[in-house]
Structure 1
Amino acid sequence: MLPWRVLIGECQFTAIDFESAGAARGQTDVPVQVGLARWSLAAGHGENFVSYLASDAPIQWSARKVHGIRDEDLAGAPGLLSLWPELKRHLAGAVVVAHGKGTEKRFLRAFPGHGFGPWVDTLLLARAAWPELSDHSLSALCEARGLSPRVATMIPSRRWHDALYDAAASLILLEDVVESFDLKEKPVEWLLEPDTRGWHRLRGS
Structure 2
Amino acid sequence: MTQLTQNNGQIKNNYCVIDLETTGLDNLTDAIIEIAVIKFDLDGISETYQSFVNPGREIPPFISDLTGIFDKDVLVAPEFNSIIPKLKEFIGDSILIGHNVGFDVGFLREFGFNFEGTIFDTLDLSYVIHPTQLDYSLTGLSLF
Please state which band the TM-score falls in when normalised by the shorter chain.
Answer: 0.7 to 0.9
Q: Is the 8 A contact 2:33 2:55 kept in 1?
A: yes
- Tell me the C-alpha RMSD between the 2 structures: 2.1
Partner of 2:21: 19
Partner of 1:44: 44
Q: Is the 8 A contact 2:54 2:75 kept in 1?
A: yes
* 2:10 equivalent among 2, 6, 13: 6
Read off the aligned partner of 1:31 and give its amino acid letter. I
Q: Is the 8 A contact 1:52 1:78 kept in 2?
A: yes
Q: Secondary structure of 1:76's match? A: coil
1:17-61 per-residue CA deviation (whole Å, 9 max, x = no partner) reads 11011269xx70100000001123x22122111111011121112
Q: Is the 8 A contact 1:36 1:50 kept in 2?
A: yes
Partner of 1:76: 76
1:88-140 per-residue CA deviation (whole Å, 9 max, x = no partner) reads 1222211001110222111211226x343210000001111111322111122
Identity within the alignment, %: 26
Select the structure with the greater relative contact order (CA < 8 A; seq sep ≥ 6).
1
1:177-203 per-residue CA deviation (whole Å, 9 max, x = no partner) reads xxxxxxxxxxxxxxxxxxxxxxxxxxx
Larger Rg: 1
Q: Under a length normalisation based on structure 2, what TM-score does the superposition of the two structures give?
A: 0.84
Read off the aligned partner of 1:102 and give its amino acid letter. G
- Segments of structure 1 that go 5 or more residues without pairing to the other structure are 145-205
Read off the aligned partner of 2:129 and give its amino acid letter. A
Q: Which has the higher helix share?
A: 1
Read off the aligned partner of 1:32 and give its amino acid letter. I
How far apart are the structure 2 equivalents of 1:11 and 1:116? Answer: 18
Q: State whether structure 2 residue 33 is matched by structure 1 residue 32.
A: yes
- Segments of structure 2 that go 5 or more residues without pairing to the other structure are 1-5
* Moved >6 Å (runs of 4+): none
How many pairs are equivalent? 137
Q: Which has the higher strand share?
A: 2
Q: Under a length normalisation based on structure 1, what TM-score does the superposition of the two structures give?
A: 0.61
Q: Is the 8 A contact 1:96 1:116 kept in 2?
A: no
How far apart are the structure 2 equivalents of 1:20 and 1:65? Answer: 12
